[in-house]
Amino acid sequence: MIITKTQSPAIKPLPYPVYFTAVTLLALAGLFNSIYLSVSHYRVYTDIGYSSFCAISQSINCDTVSQSSYSIFLNVPVPVWGVIGYTFFLLFLPLAWSTAAEKKRIWSLLCLVSLIFSLSSIILALIATVKIHSHCIMCLFSHGINFMLLFYTWMIRKRFEGEGFIDGLRHDVGFLISKKRQTLFLFTPLTAGVVLVFQFFPVYWSFDPPSLSAYLPHGITEDGHPWLGAENPQLEIFEFTDYQCFQCNKMHFYLRQIMVRYPGKIRLIHRHFPMDHEVNPIVKEPIHRGSGKLAMLTIYAASQNKFWQLSDILFSIARVQPEINIKELAQATGLDSVGLSRALIDPKVHSLLRKDIIDGLKLGVAGTPSFVIDGRVYQGQIPTEILTQVMN
């Protein structure tokens, strides 16, 4: 008896519309996710009280990723690039919809676009891991979308086009040229939009030092702490800050604007609380390395009646410049560069910094920025109802 093997029937691919719909939904999900990330990026820099839903911990924190200088590429926020990229992808899809096999073009081109998206995701994930040391949940979602788009576009190519990748790209370009009128209609507005973005996108993430401090009364309290604002204030605020802290940076300029707009009402008294493990006993791991030294420089500047000038500069550059040039700081503020350098090893300066940190710990300060008003500590921001009392 001869037994023959029966051939199993070939597995048929799902109908073309199923794959097309999956790709469309993925691209739309990527677009809406990028829009959300763009709005979140904007609010991180402009809304004092904003905190995204995925600011969960130090390692999983969308806000930390947004605050990084790596969130800007070619002077445009990375999520805005995502909006442009997914829009570009979606504009191709109407050209790919057809029931005739010979018209199912541009999938090689879409596969190439998806490959670029995926490579970008790998680069951004590496930057988040190695440089930022924090990940964004919604960014990870975007990375997943990019890899799924790559998988589906590759699969559609294999199942419905059946030609080499290079030949497919060549045919795709020819297909777009043959559809010149539709191509121009779809992509001319997008191209114009990209040009406008490059030319006119607002640089909302840049906190330029407002030369506000020079126009406000300032001095040193009886306890030796720099103050700025009203000589006879309605509201007195003690700030405990760190020059490498993003939220401190936001509050720094936000409070200046209020004090200029409502003169004679608020007095701000500065205290140092660098989250630097070299000087702060509650910090066990390197976080804001070097922020203790920046505080020492401003302590010396306070002795020369230049505290607020140097403070404004440091808040503007400390988070974006890996190294601080003391000679440049001296030139910008009129301070003695030798005196600034010696402040880093001056026992008296170290003692004053240590006193600020100890006083903060006694009050219950556990992070920055923290504000003490009438003996009560407010971390992160000052409640709106307190500020509105002096803004009426």
- The pLDDT, as a whole number, for residue 101 is 46
Asked if residue 9 has pLDDT above 80, the reply is: no
Asked if residue 364 has pLDDT above 80, the reply is: yes
Non-local (6+) Cβ contacts of 270 within 8 A are 225, 226, 227, 228, 239, 241, 307, 311
Using an 8 Å Cβ cutoff, are 80 and 201 in contact? yes
- The pLDDT, as a whole number, for residue 126 is 95
Region of 204 please: left (phi>0), alpha (psi -120 to 50) or beta.
alpha
pLDDT-derived band at 208 (thresholds 50, 70, 90) equals low
Using an 8 Å Cβ cutoff, are 303 and 290 in contact? no
- The pLDDT, as a whole number, for residue 320 is 67
pLDDT-derived band at 346 (thresholds 50, 70, 90) equals very high
- The pLDDT, as a whole number, for residue 199 is 85
Please give the Cα distance from 175 to 327 (Å, whole number).
61
User: Using one digit for the tens of pLDDT, what is the confidence trace for 273-296?
Assistant: 999 999 999 998 888 888 999 999
Judge residue 178's burial from the number of C-beta atoms within 10 Å of its C-beta, 0-12 exposed, 13-18 middle, 19 or more buried.
exposed
Using an 8 Å Cβ cutoff, are 224 and 356 in contact? no
- The pLDDT, as a whole number, for residue 274 is 94
Domains of the chain: 16-200 (1.20.1440.130), 213-388 (3.40.30.10)
**Other CB atoms within 10 Å distance of the CB of residue 181:** 8
pLDDT-derived band at 210 (thresholds 50, 70, 90) equals low
Residue 4 DSSP SS3 = coil
pTM summary value: 0.75
Judge residue 43's burial from the number of C-beta atoms within 10 Å of its C-beta, 0-12 exposed, 13-18 middle, 19 or more buried.
middle
User: Using one digit for the tens of pLDDT, what is the confidence trace for 148-193?
Assistant: 999 999 988 888 777 788 888 888 888 888 888 888 888 888 888 8
- The pLDDT, as a whole number, for residue 344 is 92
Asked if residue 38 has pLDDT above 60, the reply is: yes
Give the β-pairing of 266-272 and 235-241. Answer: parallel
Residue 323, token pair as written in the block: 């190294």
- The pLDDT, as a whole number, for residue 211 is 56
Using an 8 Å Cβ cutoff, are 299 and 271 in contact? no
- The pLDDT, as a whole number, for residue 207 is 63
Please give the Cα distance from 38 to 79 (Å, whole number).
5
Non-local (6+) Cβ contacts of 299 within 8 A are 272, 343, 349, 352, 353
Please give the Cα distance from 246 to 240 (Å, whole number).
13
Asked if residue 384 has pLDDT above 50, the reply is: yes
- The pLDDT, as a whole number, for residue 315 is 86
Residue 7, token pair as written in the block: 């051939």
Using an 8 Å Cβ cutoff, are 229 and 237 in contact? no
- The pLDDT, as a whole number, for residue 98 is 63
User: Using one digit for the tens of pLDDT, what is the confidence trace for 89-122?
Assistant: 998 888 887 655 455 678 899 999 999 999 999 9
User: Using one digit for the tens of pLDDT, what is the confidence trace for 59-72?
Assistant: 788 888 888 888 99
Lowest mean pLDDT among 111-125, 360-374, 377-391: 377-391
